[in-house]
């Protein structure tokens, strides 16, 4: 079998997170591992109304093939919404619908990355992006992530090598929960605007800010090869698998559309009409406000529980939004080696190793707070605290 596999697939690592999720089938396990939205945030009744409505109003169109870029109505809604929020001048031509943000990452890899190309990512970075780009066999150049964002001096040093692409998650970064400061965004923009490369700002969590003020994107209206990725998975329904790419550079979107057509022809037509009708006939901002309030309560519950149950030599980030926070253990402690001990106590997390390139036994872990009740969070953190207390 191995001899039949391409070099690309042989070099692509499996997802540790996906293997962890299998353990959560045990109802006694409290999971802080996945990046799952809380099911109580799904607008089920409203989506059911829209489902019936689009079948009645649009008939065969919702069951038929569609154009690769996505239905114009949904793209226009996204363009108008982003233009209003971020002071941009976008039309539907600046939007490409994708099958989740994950497909967007894959399309970007197909269009831009040749074997050996230097690409800059955060250290640590999103596992799904690492996996998607790994297929195209680039040379990864991780740049340290500080509490304020990507380290400017580290970025300058990395750019001494000719670079094809920079991948960033400026809002409530996965896995750390950190957010780039306004000053850091400006510094990064000033550095990158002098470079001919692709800037990818992945923003699946941007709408989920529950503290602080929203900040502008790094490069969408400044850098000529800038892309912003978004999704409805975190605010509406992950099962719909609807994401999007926004760019002022329509030539890039045309190239991405070409490879998307080769991949899947187009994203789910029915889901596109369903989401568009839902957005058109409901107060989407009010819906998101409820999610923010829910996640704020859950994040605060986790932070309070950690203060109570974690050893004093353990530290963690305090996110202003999103779905994750990042725990740092003493230097001699491996989170990966702690995982089976935690599993024995019926609580799981994601060890930090997953978010680095070629690093093992890292002393960090990612915790998700959105898919458990506050009561479960307190109990899970108590169990994890007991495990940490034995080794820290």
* Nearest Cα residue to 151 out of 119, 192, 122, 130: 122
Shared-domain flag, residues 248 and 297: no
Average pLDDT over residues 302-331: 97
For 78, 85, 194, 235, 389, the CA distances from 230, given in Å and listed in that order, are 10, 14, 26, 11, 39
Residue-wise pLDDT for 338-373, tens only, equals 999 999 999 999 999 999 998 889 999 999 999 999
Taking the CA atoms of 176, 178, 184 and 189 in sequence, report the sign of the dihedral they define: positive
Shared-domain flag, residues 340 and 193: no
Shared-domain flag, residues 37 and 103: no
- Give yes or no for a contact between 335 and 329, defined as CB atoms under 8 angstroms apart: yes
pLDDT band per the 50, 70, 90 thresholds, residue 90? very high
User: In the chain, where do the E strands start and end?
Assistant: 30-31, 95-98, 118-123, 139-146, 149-150, 165-168, 198-202, 226-231, 243-246, 315-316, 324-328, 347-348, 350-351, 364-368
> Which CATH number characterizes residue 364's domain?
3.90.1150.10
Q: Which domain holds residue 130?
A: 60-281
Task: State the pLDDT at residue 108.
Answer: 98
pLDDT band per the 50, 70, 90 thresholds, residue 76? very high
Residue 242 forms part of a structural domain: yes
Residues whose CB falls within 8 Å of the CB of residue 170, separated by 6 or more in sequence, listed in order: 149, 179, 180, 185, 201, 203, 215, 217, 218
Shared-domain flag, residues 78 and 185: yes
Domain end point (choices 252, 281, 310): 281
Shared-domain flag, residues 272 and 319: no
Residue 107 forms part of a structural domain: yes
Looking at every residue in the chain, the average pLDDT score rounds to: 94
Shared-domain flag, residues 309 and 294: yes
Residue 52 forms part of a structural domain: no
Which residue matches tokens 């040749």? Answer: 114
Taking 90 as the threshold, does the pLDDT of residue 7 lie above it? no
What's the structural domain count of the chain?
A: 2
Enter the tokens of residue 299. 């994040």
Residue 275 forms part of a structural domain: yes
Shared-domain flag, residues 307 and 169: no
Residue 234 forms part of a structural domain: yes
Which residue matches tokens 């740092």? Answer: 328
Shared-domain flag, residues 114 and 245: yes
Shared-domain flag, residues 265 and 291: no
Residue 305 forms part of a structural domain: yes
Q: Is 211 helix (H, G, I), strand (E, B) or coil?
A: coil
> Which CATH number characterizes residue 187's domain?
3.40.640.10
Shared-domain flag, residues 92 and 218: yes
- Give yes or no for a contact between 253 and 247, defined as CB atoms under 8 angstroms apart: yes
Domain end point (choices 241, 265, 281): 281
Cα separation of 33 and 49, whole Å? 33
Average pLDDT over residues 269-280: 97
Taking 70 as the threshold, does the pLDDT of residue 24 lie above it? no
Shared-domain flag, residues 16 and 125: no
Residue 344 forms part of a structural domain: yes
Domain end point (choices 250, 281, 312): 281
Average pLDDT over residues 302-306: 98
Taking 80 as the threshold, does the pLDDT of residue 26 lie above it? no
For 35, 181, 229, 296, 314, the CA distances from 370, given in Å and listed in that order, are 8, 24, 21, 9, 22
Shared-domain flag, residues 143 and 247: yes
Taking 70 as the threshold, does the pLDDT of residue 169 lie above it? yes
For 119, 216, 337, 338, the CA distances from 165, given in Å and listed in that order, are 5, 20, 34, 35
Taking 80 as the threshold, does the pLDDT of residue 384 lie above it? yes
Residue 48 forms part of a structural domain: no
């Amino acid at each position: 079998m191995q001899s039949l596999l391409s070099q690309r697939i042989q070099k692509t690592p499996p997802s540790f997170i996906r293997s962890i999720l299998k353990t959560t089938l045990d109802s006694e396990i409290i999971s802080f591992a996945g990046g799952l939205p809380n099911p109580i945030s799904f607008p089920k009744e409203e989506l059911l109304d829209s489902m019936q409505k689009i079948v009645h109003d649009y008939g065969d169109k919702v069951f038929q093939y569609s154009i690769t870029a996505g239905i114009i109505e949904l793209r226009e809604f996204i363009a108008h919404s982003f233009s209003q929020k971020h002071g941009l001048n976008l039309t539907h031509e600046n939007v490409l619908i994708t099958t989740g943000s994950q497909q967007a990452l894959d399309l970007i890899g197909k269009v831009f990355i040749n074997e050996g190309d230097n690409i800059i990512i955060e250290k640590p970075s999103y596992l799904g992006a690492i996996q998607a780009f790994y297929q195209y066999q680039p040379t990864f150049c991780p740049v340290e992530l500080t509490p304020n964002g990507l380290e400017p001096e580290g970025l300058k040093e990395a750019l001494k090598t000719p670079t094809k692409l920079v991948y960033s998650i400026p809002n409530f970064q996965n896995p750390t929960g950190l957010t780039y400061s306004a000053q850091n965004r400006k510094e990064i923009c000033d550095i990158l605007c002098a470079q001919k490369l692709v800037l990818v700002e992945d923003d699946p969590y941007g709408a989920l800010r529950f503290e602080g003020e929203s900040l502008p994107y790094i490069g969408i209206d400044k850098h000529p090869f800038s892309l912003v990725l978004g999704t409805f998975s975190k605010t509406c329904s992950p099962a719909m698998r609807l994401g999007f790419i926004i760019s002022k550079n329509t030539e890039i979107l045309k190239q991405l559309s070409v490879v998307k057509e080769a991949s899947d022809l187009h994203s789910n037509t029915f889901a596109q009409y369903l989401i568009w009708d839902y957005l058109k006939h409901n107060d989407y901002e009010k819906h998101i406000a409820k999610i923010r309030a829910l996640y704020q309560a859950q994040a605060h519950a986790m932070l309070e529980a950690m203060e109570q149950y974690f050893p004093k030599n353990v530290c963690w980030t305090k996110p202003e939004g999103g779905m994750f926070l990042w725990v740092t253990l003493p230097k001699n402690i491996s989170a990966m080696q702690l995982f089976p001990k935690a599993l024995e106590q019926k609580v799981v997390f994601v060890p930090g190793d997953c978010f680095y390139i070629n690093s093992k036994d890292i002393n960090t872990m990612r915790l998700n707070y959105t898919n458990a009740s506050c009561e479960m969070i307190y109990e899970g953190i108590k169990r994890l605290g007991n495990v940490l207390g034995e080794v820290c």
